[in-house]
Amino acid sequence: MTGASPRQSKIGVIGMGYVGLTLTAAMARRGFEVHGVDTQPAVVDSLSQGRPHIFEPGVDEAFRELTGERIFIGSELPDAGVDVAIICVSTPVDELRHEPYLENLAAAAEHVSKRCTPDTLVVVRSTVPVGATRAVVLPRLLAAWSCARLVMAPERTIQGQALRELVELPQVVGGLNAESLRLGVELFSDLAAQVVPVSTLETAELVKLTNNCHTDVIYSFGNEVARITERLGLDPLEVIRATNVDYPRPDIAKPGYVGGGCLSKDPYILLSVADQVGYVPPLISAARAVNEETPVHVARRMVDLITDPADKTLLVLGWAYKGWPPTDDMRGTPIAAMMPVFTAAGLRVLGHDPLVSADVIRQYGGDPVDLADGFARADAVLVITDHPEYRDLPVDTLLTGSNVRLVYDSWRILDAASITAHGAQYAGLGYEPEVAE
């Protein structure tokens, strides 16, 4: 067995969303026997056949090779229990009040308490408010067992690189007590190159929230710069490149859309936590507002830049929340905030994404097309993601003979000169050069 300790070799992973799915693949690769649990019959059925329902490089291969050998999927943990039960369920926030929803966490803890024993190490991997592991999970374990081994070890991977980062990134582990911490450190030492023990469950919970809120703030500053350059007639990428060159301070991020399952949710979790202790963090709140406003602002600029938008056709390239590393994840996707603006303006919207299915594009209000058909029918093009396929677009071929008169390249990955040579205006986030007469 590679990596897995004989004392903690049988693992249960509760929740086969992105976090649980990737952890299952990574731990099975390291030699653990992993029992994945999910409440959705379609997910259980698909994974039981070795077919992951979420795209992530390397996961398909792991499930094809190891399902039935070291990966086992069901609706419940095995009758005999497991050495370690890792809770990876979703913890969404309410769309209106932005308060965290923890019923999934409570249900997972209840399930573990019924299927396992006090000897089981329980790991909370889900992103939770500070104090939730102790307040939501622990009471359910103690009610069933009177004692518990419990750790909090937050997931911190980026989509598209999860299997590599699960091994390479330091794993932060906080324990209920010394024994829990020792067992948690042993477990994650068998998975990752480095483990960072912290003093409490709450410290580990705050590490994850701090990571993601900091990232949100960094991205928001790049978006603020773009809003300024747009009004000054300057190029934000030129400003940011010159700002960063050999300057011994933190780099400024490029402007861009900020979404996904974490960055669109975790700031609200931390804001909720802070509010409960009597503090409202203005920076975190403002950063989230800037990043959520960015796709709406771009949609409005598109409408303004398209002459007489009613009954015009817009081709949107990229429907997932990001293009690099590639993903099919629609959580926090910019198009969700943009579509109401486009609809109100009377624009017909065509959609293309290398990974997002035609059915999903339709669910979000688009008409799925291939690239050639999309360019042939469009009056304007909006590039939302920097997917590798879009970086290599044959712009000259696609624009020849088309009616496209505007290309808004959010990430500035296309050749502006080739686009303007075809009589189309070229623009991007914070960059709207005047059209040459």
Chain segment 66-89, per-residue pLDDT in tens:
999 999 999 999 999 999 999 999
Residues 82, 404: Cα–Cα separation, whole Å: 59
Q: Which domains does the chain have, with CATH numbers?
A: 6-199 (3.40.50.720), 203-437 (3.40.50.720)
Asked if 292 and 95 touch (Cβ cutoff 8 Å), the reply is: no
Residues 280, 209: Cα–Cα separation, whole Å: 15
* Helix residue ranges per DSSP H, 70-177: 103-115, 132, 138-145, 162-168
**Predicted confidence (pLDDT) per residue in 357-388, tens digit:** 999 999 999 999 999 999 999 999 999 999 99
Q: For residue 5, name the pLDDT band (cuts at 50, 70, 90).
A: low
Which tokens go with 55? 């795209």
What's the pLDDT at 4?
59
Which tokens go with 39? 């409440």
CA 48 and chain centroid, separation: 24
Mean pLDDT of 281-286: 97
Specify the DSSP class assigned to residue 431.
Answer: B
Residues 334, 321: Cα–Cα separation, whole Å: 6
What's the pLDDT at 434?
79
Residue showing tokens 């937050």: 154
Q: For residue 436, name the pLDDT band (cuts at 50, 70, 90).
A: low
Q: Is the pLDDT of residue 104 over 70?
A: yes
What's the pLDDT at 3?
55
- For the residues of 370-384, what is the DSSP string, one character each? -HHHHHHH-SEEEE-
CB neighbours of residue 101 within 10 Å = 11
* 3-state DSSP of 61-93: HHHHHHECCCEEEECCCCCCCCCEEEECCCCCE
What's the pLDDT at 8?
84
Please state whether 17 falls in left (phi above 0), alpha (psi between -120 and 50) or beta. Answer: beta
Mean pLDDT of 103-109: 98
Q: Is the pLDDT of residue 293 over 90?
A: yes
**Predicted confidence (pLDDT) per residue in 321-371, tens digit:** 999 999 999 999 999 999 999 999 999 999 999 999 999 999 999 999 999
Q: Provide the β-strand partners of residue 174.
A: 152, 198
Mean pLDDT of 167-193: 97
By DSSP bridging, strand 149-152 and strand 171-175 are antiparallel
Residues 30, 3: Cα–Cα separation, whole Å: 5
Asked if 427 and 407 touch (Cβ cutoff 8 Å), the reply is: yes
Mean pLDDT of 166-187: 98
Residues 8, 31: Cα–Cα separation, whole Å: 11
Q: Is the pLDDT of residue 1 over 50?
A: no
**Predicted confidence (pLDDT) per residue in 199-220, tens digit:** 999 999 999 999 999 999 999 9
Q: Is the pLDDT of residue 129 over 60?
A: yes
Whole-angstrom CA distances from 88 to 198, 221, 296 are 20, 31, 32
Count Cβ neighbours within 10 Å for each residue of 226-245 and write b for 16 or more, e otherwise.
bbebbeeebbbbebbeeeee
Mean pLDDT of 236-249: 97
What's the pLDDT at 96?
87
What's the pLDDT at 386?
97
Q: For residue 145, name the pLDDT band (cuts at 50, 70, 90).
A: very high
Q: Note the maximum CA span of the chain.
A: 79
Asked if 15 and 39 touch (Cβ cutoff 8 Å), the reply is: no
Whole-angstrom CA distances from 119 to 116, 153, 174, 188 are 8, 18, 18, 17
| Percent of the residues in the chain that have a pLDDT greater than 90, as a whole number | 96
CB neighbours of residue 391 within 10 Å = 13
Q: Is the pLDDT of residue 42 over 70?
A: yes
| Residue of 79, 150, 146, 154 whose CA lies nearest to 121 | 150
From the number of C-beta atoms within 10 Å of its C-beta (0-12, 13-18, 19+), residue 141 rates as buried
Residues 136, 105: Cα–Cα separation, whole Å: 7
Query: What are the E-state strand segments in 125-219?
Result: 149-152, 171-175, 195-198
* pLDDT mean across residues, the chain: 96
Mean pLDDT of 194-201: 98
Asked if 337 and 299 touch (Cβ cutoff 8 Å), the reply is: yes
Number of residues in the chain: 437
Amino acid at 247: Y
Residues 50, 46: Cα–Cα separation, whole Å: 7
| Residue of 68, 77, 34, 36 whose CA lies nearest to 53 | 36
By DSSP bridging, strand 71-74 and strand 33-37 are parallel
Residues 70, 32: Cα–Cα separation, whole Å: 7
